[in-house]
Every structure is written in C-alpha cells, then in structure tokens.
Amino acid sequence: MPLGTWLKAGTSATALVLATAGAATAAPAGESSAAQAAAVTLRYDDSRAAGWEAAIAAGVASWNANVSNVHLVEATPGTAAEIVIVATTGWPQATLGPVRPGRQVRVELGSQAVDQGYNKTRIAAHELGHSLGLPDTKPGPCSQLMSGSSAGTACTNATPNATERSRVQSAYASGITAPADERILIDAP
C-alpha cells in the first residue's frame, strides 16, 4: 500500500478514535458526566426570613437553573446550613463567598431596599450571588444581576448573566472552592 494511503487511513482511524472518545465522555446537554465533578450542594436556612419566602425560592430557582456546579437546597429543620438567610430592617447585605460545604455565610434581606422600591426577588438572587462568590459590579446595567441597586428600582432582573454564571461555575468547578474572605457586602446605593 502506498505511503499516502497509509497516512490517510491512519488519520481517519485517529479521527474516529478521538471522536468516539469524545462522544463517550461528553455529556448530553443538561446532564453531567462521570468525568465531571459532582455539583456542590449548599443548604440554605430561611426560617428567619419571614415575608421573603417566595423571593428566596425564586432566587434559588434562578441560580439552580443557570449553574450546574453548585446546587442550592433548603435545609431541613434542625440541620446545619451553609447559607443563613434572615430578614432585617436595614439594607440587604451578605458575606462574600464562595461558601464551602461545612462553612457558613449570612445573607440579610433588608426591608429598607424594598421600602425604596427595589424588587424582592432581584434582591434575594443578588445576595445569594454574593454567597456564591460574586462581588458587586456597580455601577452596572439591569442585565447584570450583581449590579444591584445601581440598576435602579425599575430593574426586576433576577437572572445571572453569562459572565456571572461563568464565574460561579469556575468557583465550584472542582467541587472544592477557595476559602471565603469573610467580607460583608452592604448593598446600599
């Protein structure tokens, strides 16, 4: 067999092996493969956030629908939670994460922001974003969840944008995160 035929056959065989290997390890959209790290599960306790339950549930649902390396679940009564959520009369604030399993951060959902016209669901999703390791991006447009109050009271967007999703995905990519720096971020305008 001529050398050119051998090279073509070898190249085709190599391409077939690589394509087969890729197909064997690639996960269908929406599913994770065994080769990927399992999602980090973080529990939240909103038992002291009366009046915020629907906003918290919507904020959690937004994060869970938009990132796959971390999953937020409500803590069962009596179990420890990584994210403790409380209702306050001040401005919303949160400990900057990314929080790790077994560690704890605090989210304060302040009614002062709601009294000034800010959307509760956006507030909850934004503060959860801090727990997942995202700082504020002020000033910023409504399309950036982490722009917080700088987007104005008309903004109701509670969905992280592509950059915000990517940063959280990276923070939890290996299933292990860097230690939180324990800064409290207050979201007053």
Q: Which residue numbers are catalytic?
A: 127
What six digits make up the tokens of 57?
A: 């549930």
Single out the residue of 168, 188, 184, 186 nearest to residue 95, CA to CA: 184
Single out the residue of 37, 27, 29, 22 nearest to residue 169, CA to CA: 37
Single out the residue of 96, 42, 48 nearest to residue 64, CA to CA: 42
Residue 39 has a CB neighbour count (10 Å cut-off) of 15
